[in-house]
Structures are given as structure tokens and as C-alpha cells.
Amino acid sequence: MLSLKNVDKHYSRKDKKGKKTIIKAVENVSLTIRENKSYSLVGESGSGKSTLARLMAFIESPTKGQIMIDNQDLSKLNKEQLRLKRVDIQMVMQDGQSSLDPRVKIYDSIAEPIRNFEKTNKKDERLRVESLVNKVELSMDILDRLPHELSGGEQKRVCIARAISINPRLIIFDEAVSGLDVTVRKKVLNLLLKLRSEIKSSYLFITHDIDVALYMSKDISVMKDGKIVEKIENIKSLRDFKHDYSKILINALPPKVPRSKTRK
């Protein structure tokens, strides 16, 4: 479905003296996302994960390399073709509140993608929104609230409802459970696993927590300094990681965290 081939993303920055510095956020990354599969991308903050996510969601363009969807090079698509392709890939960001317009009620936040990409009447739209609220296990009374009136976990579920509202083929979760307490985080992760079995979308779960990555998928890539340093398919346990950096991430886990079972 989606593939990256030798992708680079570089930024230029000038210091106070006007000297230009090149920042290599992503370097020579090749990655393939297949239909109806779950993947994890793990690495510390600053490793390039979020930049890679923006490239995959067509928010930014690569400096070098190809990003292909269904064997179409995104650089060859015009603006309207690219807009329509964005239906296929949705993102759920780390901060639920900043992802939602503070002036817009929850109903309209969830309905917005449907209005942008589909033609539907008000009655059908309402039914769709209510169905989505049920799917993410929220009560109907949130629909008339504003984002600041919701808890962090509720905001996250609203963002998930928005993401699945137009039946994307791939959902990218960029540190989507960071900042949630342990109990709420586990509930959100389990909700995501349940939804994937229903909607049949592919997932890319981006996280700094290697244990969470293992809980969400069996195909895991490890990123460091803009590069993929290790890829493991059909992983069984943390012992399958061999790269020294992967072992550093494992050793950083809290000692009392139970080792999670892998997921399909």
C-alpha cells in the first residue's frame, strides 16, 4: 500500500552569524506498510519518528527518495489528487487537546472529515457521528461539549473517532498514548486493538516505549538519529532485539513493567 524508498528529509537552519547548518532529520529510510497490518516505530525523542510520520501522511515532502502509495509516486500527483489520497492516511497526535479546535464542539470536530471528503445529508451525518462515538466508547453527551471540558483520555478517543470517520487504510499514531496515566493508556491501547479488528485499517504506532511497541504489533522498526537501525518481523519477545540501541531502550524500561504479549 505505502512504501518509502531511500527517503531523506533535511532542514536548513541559520545561526546568529548567518551560517547555514543542515539538519538531517531522516536519512535513507526504506519502509513498507501493507494492507490490514499493524506496525510499530520506536525510538527516543529527536530520533526522527515524527518527521517520518509527517512524510508518510503527505504533510511534508522528502528532500530525496520516493514515497509511493499503490505504486504511485506522490511527487507526481497534483494538489487535488494528493488531497484525495489523504483520505487513505490519517494521523492521531500526542496532544489530544491541541489537535482539536478549542472553539468547536465535539460533534463538529468528529463530523468535519466526513463533510470534507464525503457528500451526506444531516441525518446520515448525525448517525455516522453517533456510531463513531459508540465505537470509541464515549457517551453521547460529549457531543455538545468543547475540548477543554473533556479529560485527556476522552480527548484522545475523540481524535481516534475523527481518524476512523472516513475509513482510512492507514492510521498513524504519533506518541498517541504519551501523557496518559497507566490505567487510561492501557484502556486506549486495548480500544485501538479492538477497533483495528473491526475497521481493518493498517496501523503505524510511533512510540518511545519499546514495551508499548511490542504490545501493539509484531513488526517493529527501531529508529535512531534519523535512520532505521533495526527491523524485526513477527517478533516474539524483547529478546529478539539485537541492536545495541534497541537494548538501551529495553534497559530504560521501568523494572516493574510486565513484559507485554505481542499482537498480530
Flag whether 260 is in a domain: no
Flag whether 150 is in a domain: yes
Flag whether 169 is in a domain: yes
Flag whether 199 is in a domain: yes
Q: In what order do the strands lie in the sheet with 20-33?
A: 20-33, 2-14, 64-69, 72-73
Flag whether 179 is in a domain: yes
Give the CATH number, domain containing residue 133: 3.40.50.300
pLDDT of 7: 96
Amino acid identity for residue 210 in this structure = I
d(CA 119, CA 109): 17
Other residues' Cβ atoms within 10 Å of the Cβ of residue 210: 24
d(CA 42, CA 255): 19
pLDDT of 264: 47
d(CA 174, CA 239): 25
d(CA 40, CA 183): 21
Flag whether 259 is in a domain: no
Q: What is the pLDDT along the chain (264 residues), one digit of tens a residue?
A: 899 999 999 998 877 777 888 899 999 999 999 998 999 999 998 899 999 999 999 889 999 999 998 888 888 888 888 888 888 999 998 776 778 999 999 999 999 999 988 888 999 999 999 999 999 999 999 999 999 999 988 998 999 999 999 989 999 999 888 877 888 888 889 999 999 888 889 999 999 988 889 989 999 999 999 999 999 999 988 889 999 999 999 888 776 544 444 454
pLDDT of 110: 95
What's the pTM value of the predicted model, to 2 decimals? 0.87
Residue 148, C-alpha cell as written in the block? 477543554
Flag whether 262 is in a domain: no
d(CA 198, CA 177): 20
Pairing of strands 38-42, 64-69: unpaired
pLDDT of 13: 84
pLDDT of 256: 53
Flag whether 200 is in a domain: yes
Which residues span the domain enclosing 214? 2-251
Domain count, the chain: 1
pLDDT of 80: 84
